């Protein structure tokens, strides 16, 4: 598990940005430690990196929320997710999506989201 500070160090996000993403619901089902501080697992970390990629593509917070809802619905929404990103993307055979901007979002495979876990997609975020 990672603290907010550790996640910020790994993802190069400002603390305030990560806190904002949590408060806006962009990181669903955030877990809390016994001291009530937010803690993140590997899956959360990958999703946070993915949010950074989406932000780099120019996606607004509102569109990120829509993207999150699509992710939560599963693989069937992949074409719509690709359309929701402003930059032109190319789907690769391995399930990742590549952009001429050098940004790659891994969209496959999706996992079921349980009410106590923040699972959306697995795999690398940006490469």
105 alpha carbon, distance to own chain's centre:
9
pLDDT digits (tens, 9 = 90+) for 70-118: 888 888 888 888 777 755 555 566 666 655 445 455 543 443 332 222 2
* Angle of the 15-23 helix axis to the 4-11 helix axis, nearest 10: 110
CA gap 20, 65 in Å, rounded: 13
* Angle of the 42-56 helix axis to the 15-23 helix axis, nearest 10: 100
Ordered by start, the domain boundaries in the chain are 2-106
Give the bridge partners for 98, in sequence order: 90, 104
pLDDT digits (tens, 9 = 90+) for 42-74: 999 989 988 888 887 778 889 889 888 888 888
Q: Reading across the β-sheet that carries 31-32, which strands appear in turn?
A: 2-3, 38-40, 31-32
CATH fold for domain 2-106: Multidrug-efflux Transporter Regulator; Chain: A; Domain 2 (1.10.1660)
pTM recorded for the entire structure: 0.66
Query: Token match 């009530």: residue?
Result: 36
Q: Which two tokens stand for residue 122?
A: 């697995």
């Amino acid at each position: 598990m990672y603290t907010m500070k550790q996640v910020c160090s790994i993802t190069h996000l400002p603390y305030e940005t990560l806190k904002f993403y949590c408060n806006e619901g962009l990181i669903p089902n955030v877990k809390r430690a016994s001291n009530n501080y937010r803690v993140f697992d590997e899956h959360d970390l990958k999703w946070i990196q993915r949010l950074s990629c989406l932000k780099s593509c120019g996606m607004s917070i509102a569109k990120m929320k829509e993207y999150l809802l699509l992710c939560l619905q599963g693989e069937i929404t992949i074409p719509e997710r690709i359309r929701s990103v402003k930059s032109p993307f190319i789907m690769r055979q391995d399930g990742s999506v590549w952009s001429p901007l050098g940004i790659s979002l891994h969209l496959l495979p999706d996992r079921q989201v349980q009410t106590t876990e923040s699972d959306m997609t697995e795999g690398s975020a940006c490469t």
